[in-house]
């Protein structure tokens, strides 16, 4: 895939960039991204675990995987902080921020904070489930803390990679850029999980589904796309998200699993995946095309064009695709619409192949209007975030 | 207009009374096919929580025991989760223990599968699952989470400030004044943001905690409201609608419809009136369901007095409820009890407690509690054995099923904090047990269900003069036990007082 030569929207530099001394990606960065990947794998596995097995403690394998990921992030960030603080070269210190006498790229500090938050969420989550039950609500304070920690780890990793990118030249720059895009893709996957309830297939003909996408997806996608300085900076993370989701959709059912908690409505015999991914790759592609066309325009102009175009193109593909997902043709291993969690009363107390009642027309229009406005705001936020990452030097 | 006069007594349930009247653990004795089992289910204080399942096998041939929990009725009552394998005691190979997660409030069942040389057999024990309190947070966890809250709050503010101040500064340069200004603004914003997140999280937590607390309260023994109509007809109803939390819909509840309660021993309500303070008189009555979700009983002759009320019903899900209250009644000029209704008139409680092991029956026979001289211990499961003797000490004849059972017993603590209506099958509701067995029938090996029905519903003819009640007193204290049998067409009551250590 060819790379763009789009110039970064950088302020005029007062001095030439200092190229990084490293000829390869620092191990701490690799370790951080590995930790982020592990946490995402663990999170995906945890969803499947809840839907297939149910029994939940601090020590079930998915939780251990998530925490292992968090610990790896923490170790990597702490290593980078201590290494630069204790024995870093002056060049390394020059490309670091200073916090309470500690030196490291800002992203390392952010990632470390994220790992601590992830770690803190585990005993809290364990107590929460023991106190109030499993899966009563998805958004709970401990889940919120885990989400924030995981998000901070990705934000930190992207900032860390961006600072390295901004001191590097090819071929290292190219490798760093791909690492950056991968983390962006993991970020898209995390936000897609956050809105999983709103984007259940039965909700795909509601305006609320599109509002959820408009609020949570463009920021991370546009930040990655703009920050990566890559022609297909939005499409690639969306493709990574799609690949991760499809991998989970097709691989998880290969592993045997049975529910260990009641009530059991479905005779589950294998891990149940989350469902077919959203078709975000299409609006991401549209966003990339528009960003290329509107390169010289202001951020607000870009936002006003890209945000609604993103949402409109998503609507154009996801709405009809939802019809297909409701049809018998989708009830196979490829699309996975015949998988149900053991505790999902699908087919008993509701018809899983029937759309949830959409909002009344007036409300539908109002919510959809809000979604379009939100898409502009979140696109603008994503561009600002991406532009900050273009400018990071430390 | 005397017949229009109504004496209304709104009953106030004692606040000291606990859920299902102080006796939450389940004791059951029955057969899984060829294996006779005594099952004790220690209900956790908090749901979800881990129940301890203890199983004692009557014979040494049971090799493995597996247990699982599932709903008693409706959706989710057909497919059990993967069972847990109970641990066999090294010291006592006939004793098995398992820890089993109870995830839900409401009517559940515990399936017990026994394997041995005689094959595999299953029995099912209904369980009323409810929490007695909210789970507190341990001090160490409060300390750990408090530390993380402070650390994460301070560090995110500092990191945000430094990152904004320095992250875009080219190497070797110092942050500009504008960066410093922005940094301070961002730090303030970060602090506000953290405060908002913590505040929002705390609010969400409060809602969750309040919902849970409400669910705990909902399943406590409800208050009974009684109305005396026409001078001798007692109408009993819940003082407020019985509500059950809807699983999976955290804030939602549904009302128990009184016209959907299911008969237990052929009666929709078992009403116990115990005269206070001496407990020297007791009536076991069976009101009928009337319009408006109430239960009505024409009272037999009763002296004026203050009475404790316990009223057992079973809702359609199989969840047993005991309405609790007390009432002041004027003298009732009624007839004597008939049918399954019964009355007992005996000795008034007077301190110090005089323990009794032999109780006289009105027809001259007596009931003997076969227990040694050791004092009873709280929370120790036991099969309390009784025998009925003629005046001359020979085994009693002519015992008949009383509402389908060899005997009934009511265990009442002197402080009224415990009330349990138990049977030879145990402390469970027999209506709920029937539901559990019906679910089991297609899956059980031959014999299990039939054996159960024989135990719980003897057919006709004279019953053996011996019977037992599996039970464990929930806490130390003094108890009065009313043991009821039917003989020669008459329901007769023997009363025992006991001190539990």
CATH topology of domain A173-394: particulate methane monooxygenase, chain B (1.20.1450)
Select from B154, B186, B218 the last residue of a domain: B218
What are the domain boundaries of chain A? 23-167, 173-394
- For residue A106, what is the enclosing H or E element? helix A106-132
* Residue of chain A whose alpha carbon sits nearest to that of B166: A97
With CB atoms and an 8 Å threshold, state whether B148 touches A120. yes
B96-117, pLDDT tens digit by residue? Answer: 999 998 888 889 999 999 999 9
Does residue B381 lie within any of the structural domains? no
Classify residue B125: in a domain, yes or no: no
Confidence of residue B120 (pLDDT cuts 50, 70, 90): very high
Q: Which of residues 346-385 of B touch A (CB under 8 A)?
A: none
B336 and B296, same domain (yes or no): yes
Q: Which chain B residues have a beta carbon less than 8 Å from that of A56?
A: none
Using pLDDT thresholds of 50, 70 and 90, give the confidence band for residue A24. Answer: confident
Task: Note whether residue B328 is domain-resident.
Answer: yes
Has residue A157 got a pLDDT over 90? Answer: yes
| Of A112-126, B109-123, B457-471, minimum mean pLDDT range | B457-471
Interface contact B174, partner A, CB < 8 A: no
Is residue B162 situated within a structural domain?
Answer: yes
Number of domains in chain B: 2
* Residue (of B374, B200, B204, B226) closest to B287 by Cα position: B226
pLDDT in tens, A311-353: 999 999 999 999 999 999 999 999 999 999 998 888 888 899 9
pLDDT higher than 80, residue A136 = no
- Report yes or no on B401 lying in a domain: no
Confidence of residue A5 (pLDDT cuts 50, 70, 90): very low
B480/B496 Cα distance (integer angstroms) = 6
- Token pair 């109509």 is found at B229
Query: Does some domain include residue B240?
Result: yes
Same domain, residue pair B213 and B237 = no
Token duo for residue B303 = 């002296």
pLDDT of residue B247: 63
What residues of chain B lie within 8 A of the CB of A55, using their CB?
Answer: 101
Indicate whether B239 and B167 sit together in one domain: no
Contact present, A129 and B189 (Cβ < 8 Å): no
C-beta atoms of B68 and A91 within 8 A? no
Instruction: Tell me the C-alpha distance between B45 and B23, whole Å.
Output: 12
Q: Are the C-beta atoms of residues A153 and A121 closer than 8 Å to each other?
A: no
- Among A212-216, A263-267, B213-217, B422-426, top mean pLDDT goes to A212-216
The chain-wide mean pLDDT, for chain B, equals 87
CA of B136, closest CA in chain A: separation in Å? 8
Q: Say yes or no to pLDDT of B65 above 50.
A: yes
Residue B191 lies in domain: 139-218
Residue A4 backbone class (left: φ over 0; alpha: ψ -120 to 50; beta: rest): beta
Do the domain assignments include residue B132?
no
Domain stops at, among B283, B312, B347: B347
Question: Helix, strand, coil proportions of chain A in percent (round to 5)?
Answer: 65, 5, 35
Burial of B311 (0-12, 13-18, 19+ CB in 10 A): buried
Are B177 and B193 found together in one domain? yes
| Mean pLDDT of the B175-188 span | 92
Instruction: State the pLDDT confidence band at B11, using cuts at 50, 70 and 90.
Output: very low
> pLDDT, tens digit, for every residue of A68-92?
999 999 999 999 999 999 988 888 8
Interface probe with B: pick from A14, A20, A89, A132, most Cβ of B within 10 Å: A132
B152 touches chain A (CB under 8 A): yes
Q: Is residue B322 part of a domain?
A: yes
End-to-end CA distance of chain B: 54
pLDDT beyond 90 at B372: no
Same domain, B330 and B237: yes
Q: Compute the nearest-CA separation of A312 from chain B (Å).
A: 32
Contact A157, A111 (CB under 8 A): yes
Quote the minimal CA–CA distance from B378 to chain A in Å. Answer: 27
Q: How confident is the model at residue B460 (pLDDT cuts 50, 70, 90)?
A: low
Per-residue model confidence as pLDDT tens digits over A341-391:
998 888 888 899 999 887 889 999 999 999 999 999 999 999 999 999 999
């Amino acid at each position: 895939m060819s790379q763009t030569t789009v110039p970064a929207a950088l302020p005029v530099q007062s001095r030439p960039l200092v190229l990084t001394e490293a000829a390869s990606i620092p191990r701490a960065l690799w370790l951080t991204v590995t930790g982020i990947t592990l946490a995402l794998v663990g999170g995906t596995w945890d969803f499947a675990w809840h839907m297939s097995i149910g029994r939940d403690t601090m020590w079930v394998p998915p939780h251990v995987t998530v925490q292992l990921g968090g610990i790896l992030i923490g170790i990597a960030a702490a290593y980078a902080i201590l290494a630069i603080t204790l024995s870093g070269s002056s060049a390394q210190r020059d490309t670091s921020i200073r916090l309470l006498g500690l030196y490291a790229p800002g992203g390392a500090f952010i990632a470390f904070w994220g790992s601590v938050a992830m770690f803190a969420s585990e005993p809290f989550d364990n107590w929460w489930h023991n106190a109030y039950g499993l899966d009563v609500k998805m958004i709970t304070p401990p889940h919120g803390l885990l989400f924030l920690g995981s998000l901070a780890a990705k934000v930190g990793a992207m900032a860390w990679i961006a600072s390295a990118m901004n001191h590097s030249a090819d071929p290292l720059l190219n490798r760093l850029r791909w690492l950056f895009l991968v983390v962006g893709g993991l970020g898209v996957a995390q936000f897609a999980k956050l809105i999983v309830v709103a984007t259940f297939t039965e909700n795909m003909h509601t305006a609320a589904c599109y509002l959820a996408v408009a609020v949570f997806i463009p920021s991370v996608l546009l930040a990655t796309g703009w920050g990566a300085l890559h022609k297909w900076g939005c499409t690639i993370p969306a493709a990574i998200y799609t690949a991760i989701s499809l991998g989970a959709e097709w691989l998880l059912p290969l592993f045997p699993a049975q529910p260990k908690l009641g009530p059991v409505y479905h005779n589950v015999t294998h891990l149940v995946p989350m469902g077919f991914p959203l078709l975000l790759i299409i609006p991401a592609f549209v966003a990339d095309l528009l960003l290329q066309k509107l390169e010289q325009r202001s951020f607000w102009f870009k936002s006003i064009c890209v945000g609604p175009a993103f949402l409109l193109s998503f609507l154009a593909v996801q709405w009809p695709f939802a019809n297909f997902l409701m049809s018998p043709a989708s009830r196979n291993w490829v699309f996975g619409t015949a998988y149900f969690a053991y505790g999902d009363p699908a087919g008993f107390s509701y018809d899983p192949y029937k759309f949830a009642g959409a909002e009344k027309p007036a409300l539908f229009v109002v919510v959809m209007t809000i979604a379009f406005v939100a898409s502009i705001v979140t696109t603008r936020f994503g561009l600002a975030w991406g532009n900050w990452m273009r400018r990071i030097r430390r | 207009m005397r017949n229009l006069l109504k004496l209304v007594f709104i009953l106030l349930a004692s606040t000291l009374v606990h859920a299902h009247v102080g006796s939450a653990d389940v004791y059951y004795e029955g057969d899984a096919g060829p294996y006779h089992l005594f099952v004790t289910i220690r209900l956790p204080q908090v749901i979800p929580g881990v129940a301890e399942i203890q199983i004692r096998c009557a014979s040494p041939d049971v090799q493995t025991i597996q247990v699982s929990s599932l709903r008693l009725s409706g959706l989710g009552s057909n497919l059990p989760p993967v069972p847990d394998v109970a641990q066999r005691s090294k010291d006592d190979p006939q004793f098995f223990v398992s820890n089993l997660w109870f995830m839900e409030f409401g009517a559940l069942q515990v399936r017990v599968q026994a394997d041995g040389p005689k094959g595999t057999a299953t029995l099912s024990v209904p369980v009323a699952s409810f929490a007695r309190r909210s789970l507190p947070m341990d001090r160490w966890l409060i300390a750990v989470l408090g530390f993380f809250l402070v650390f994460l709050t301070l560090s995110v503010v500092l990191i945000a400030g430094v990152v904004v101040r320095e992250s875009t500064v080219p190497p070797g340069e110092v942050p500009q004044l504008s960066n410093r200004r922005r940094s301070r603004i961002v730090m303030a914003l970060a602090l506000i943001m953290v405060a908002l997140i913590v505040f929002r999280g705390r609010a969400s937590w409060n809602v969750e905690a309040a919902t849970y607390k409400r669910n705990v309260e909902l399943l406590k023994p409800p208050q009974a409201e009684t109305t005396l109509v026409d001078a001798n007809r007692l109408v009993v109803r819940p003082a407020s609608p019985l509500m059950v939390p809807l699983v999976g819909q955290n804030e939602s509840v549904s009302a128990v419809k009184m016209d959907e309660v299911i008969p237990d021993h052929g009666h929709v309500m078992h009403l116990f009136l115990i005269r206070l303070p001496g407990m020297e008189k007791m009536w076991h009555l069976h009101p009928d369901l009337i319009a408006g979700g109430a239960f009505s009983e024409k009272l037999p002759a009763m002296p004026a007095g203050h009475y404790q009320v316990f009223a057992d019903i079973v809702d359609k899900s199989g969840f047993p409820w005991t309405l609790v209250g007390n009432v002041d009644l004027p003298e009732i000029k009624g007839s004597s009890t008939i049918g399954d209704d019964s009355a007992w008139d005996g000795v008034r409680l007077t301190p110090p407690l005089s323990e009794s092991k032999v109780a006289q029956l009105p027809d001259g026979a007596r009931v003997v509690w076969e227990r040694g001289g050791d004092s009873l211990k709280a929370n120790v499961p036991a099969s309390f054995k009784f025998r009925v003797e003629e005046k001359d000490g020979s085994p009693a004849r002519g015992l008949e099923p009383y509402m389908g059972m060899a005997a009934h017993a009511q265990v009442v603590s002197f402080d009224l904090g415990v009330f349990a209506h138990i049977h030879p099958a145990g402390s469970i509701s027999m209506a709920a047990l029937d539901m559990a067995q019906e679910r089991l029938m297609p899956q059980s090996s031959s014999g299990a269900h039939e054996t159960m029905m024989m135990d719980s519903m003897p057919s006709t003819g004279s019953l053996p003069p011996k019977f037992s009640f599996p039970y464990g007193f929930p806490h130390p204290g003094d108890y009065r036990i009313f043991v009821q049998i039917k003989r020669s067409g008459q329901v007769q009551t023997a009363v025992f007082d006991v001190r539990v250590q």
